[in-house]
Amino acid sequence: MEIQSVKQRFGIIGNSPLLNRAIDIAMQVAATDLTVLITGESGTGKEVFPKIIHHLSSRKHGSYIPVNCGAIPEGTIDSELFGHEKGSFTGAHEARKGYFEVADGGTIFLDEVAELPLSTQVRLLRVLETGEFMKVGSSKVIKTDVRVVAATNVNMPEAIEKGNFRQDLYYRLNTVPIYIPPLRERKEDIHLLFRKFAADFAEKYRMPPLRLSDEAVEVLKNYYWPGNIRQLKNITEQISIIEREKYIDAQTLRRYLPETPKTDLPILYNKKEEESHFTERELLYKVLFDMKKDITELKKIVIDILDRNLEEPGFEKTKALLIKNVKDERPISAFDVPEKEDIQITTPTDFQPPAHEFVPGEVVEESLSLQDKEKEMIRKALEKHNGKRKEAARELGISERTLYRKIKEYNIR
């Protein structure tokens, strides 16, 4: 069967190479009994691919059972998947068959598989490896012949690292991976999908279909689409119902497109983390950055002094070395000093160092203790805001509670 005929049969819209690749893999793996893991963002249409795999396989006459793992309460998920015996738990008034028993000879689609509890993951791993399971409250082993297709929008390696998903189960499910691209990776399909949805809603609500100006088409293609196909369909329906004028320009379209992130960079921290932990870390970062800035400024002062010693032999090599280290923001090693023993840098008699520069004879030992730096910053912030702790805490980027604790800890008055 050709890719185009599969698209027509299952209602898939688009000609993106990434989409065609996903369909081709699904067609190739359908003839086998290999486990498949479908990944992709929410709203990309992952639920269509298990149907392709099932209906193009030798199991097409068997049962096809889709299971939303995230919608089943943790306390009943084992019973739903594997069944239970009468009296095995409160409310179990009669024995019940689970999906793995009912779907024997067919296919089970486990959507949002990353939401499974760890105890259920152990049971699922056994089914995948041995084809055996036990009902809840039973010691009898039951055999089953089920093909499993799973899907998730979760970053699985990250879930494994956090201990939320078993690594052995991931590798067992991920025998054949299929990646469904988000809309922003298949821009050529966005206008095509919009026209399809517009035609469907025009027929449903008995109205003329929407049309976009050239500028509006560009806006549509360049939008981030965090909700993917689902979001595009909802927005198309909104515009179809609300706008009386069916020719949509860019300005009108933008009113229906909510604000989106300006970058694809990952979020570096979770704002829901415990506030005190985050603010203390942030304060330490600020101290370190200030120390780094002081060291860089000191290097620049040294170079400024050396600029007045142009007559000294070997100076050019020494200055070039210092400038390089300032740009690299790394300390100068003893191994970096030029191999000329007679190099001496003197200061002309008429040289008057600025007040902020190093003055011979004055040696100031600055404490590099993070605790001392933190204490100094807190004291300066309190002085700046005349002892107002709320304003000082905002200046430091920490909570009032953390500031109170630090004041008490360092005995600052």
Assign 288 a pLDDT band (cuts: 50, 70, 90): confident
CATH number, domain at 75?
A: 3.40.50.300
- Give the mean pLDDT of 42-62: 96
Residues 175 and 204 in one domain: no
Dist CA 219 CA 248 (whole Å) = 11
Residues 286 and 376 in one domain: yes
User: Does 261 fall in a domain?
Assistant: no
What pLDDT is attached to residue 351?
47
Which of 166-170, 190-194, 272-276, 350-354 has the lowest average pLDDT?
A: 272-276
Mean of per-residue pLDDT scores for the chain = 83
User: Which structural domain range is residue 398 located in?
Assistant: 275-407
Long-range pairs of 116-121 with CB within 8 A, sequence gap ≥ 24: 116/69, 116/77, 117/74, 117/77, 118/164, 118/166, 119/78, 120/77, 120/78, 120/81, 121/165, 121/166, 121/169
Ranked by mean pLDDT, the top range of 326-330, 339-343, 407-411 is 407-411
Residues 246 and 286 in one domain: no
Residues 151 and 26 in one domain: yes
Q: Who has greater pLDDT, 302 or 264?
A: 302
Dist CA 172 CA 160 (whole Å) = 14
CA separation, residue 181 to residues 44, 158, 185, 251 (Å): 7, 19, 6, 28
Domains in the chain, number: 3
- Give the mean pLDDT of 244-271: 73
Residues 67 and 206 in one domain: no
Assign 301 a pLDDT band (cuts: 50, 70, 90): confident
Angle CA 25–125–70, to nearest 5:
75
Q: Tell me which DSSP letter residue 265 carries.
A: P
Report, in angstroms and rounded to the nearest whole number, the Rg of the chain calculated over CA atoms: 33
- Give the mean pLDDT of 319-332: 54
What pLDDT is attached to residue 146?
97
User: Does 268 fall in a domain?
Assistant: no
User: Does 266 fall in a domain?
Assistant: no
- Give the mean pLDDT of 276-296: 66
Residues 137 and 17 in one domain: yes
- Last residue of a domain, which of 139, 159, 181? 181
The 10s digit of each residue's pLDDT in 198-213 is 999 999 999 999 999 9
Residues 194 and 166 in one domain: no
What pLDDT is attached to residue 268?
42
Residues 231 and 125 in one domain: no
Residues 366 and 307 in one domain: yes
What pLDDT is attached to residue 377?
84
Which of 178-182, 184-188, 257-261 has the lowest average pLDDT?
A: 257-261
Residue 128 has pLDDT above 70, yes or no: yes
The letter for the amino acid at 138 is S
Residues 193 and 242 in one domain: yes
- Give the mean pLDDT of 324-333: 51
Asked whether the whole model's pTM tops 0.95, one would answer no
User: Does 20 fall in a domain?
Assistant: yes
- Give the mean pLDDT of 91-102: 92
What pLDDT is attached to residue 366?
53
The 10s digit of each residue's pLDDT in 340-392 is 444 444 444 454 555 544 445 444 455 556 777 788 888 888 888 888 888 88
- Last residue of a domain, which of 163, 181, 199? 181
Residues 325 and 337 in one domain: yes
Q: Who has greater pLDDT, 93 or 191?
A: 191
Assign 36 a pLDDT band (cuts: 50, 70, 90): very high
Dist CA 67 CA 59 (whole Å) = 18
What pLDDT is attached to residue 296?
77
User: Does 412 fall in a domain?
Assistant: no
Q: Tell me which DSSP letter residue 1 carries.
A: -
Q: Collapsing DSSP states into helix, strand and coil, what is residue 278?
A: helix
Residue 280 has pLDDT above 90, yes or no: no
User: Does 42 fall in a domain?
Assistant: yes
User: Does 413 fall in a domain?
Assistant: no
Nearest of 98, 108, 110 to residue 146 by alpha carbon: 108
Inter-residue contact 110 to 150 (CB < 8 Å): yes
User: Does 262 fall in a domain?
Assistant: no
Dist CA 129 CA 291 (whole Å) = 56
What pLDDT is attached to residue 371?
77
CATH number, domain at 188?
A: 1.10.8.60
- Last residue of a domain, which of 181, 204, 230? 181
Residue 161 has pLDDT above 80, yes or no: yes
Residues 172 and 200 in one domain: no
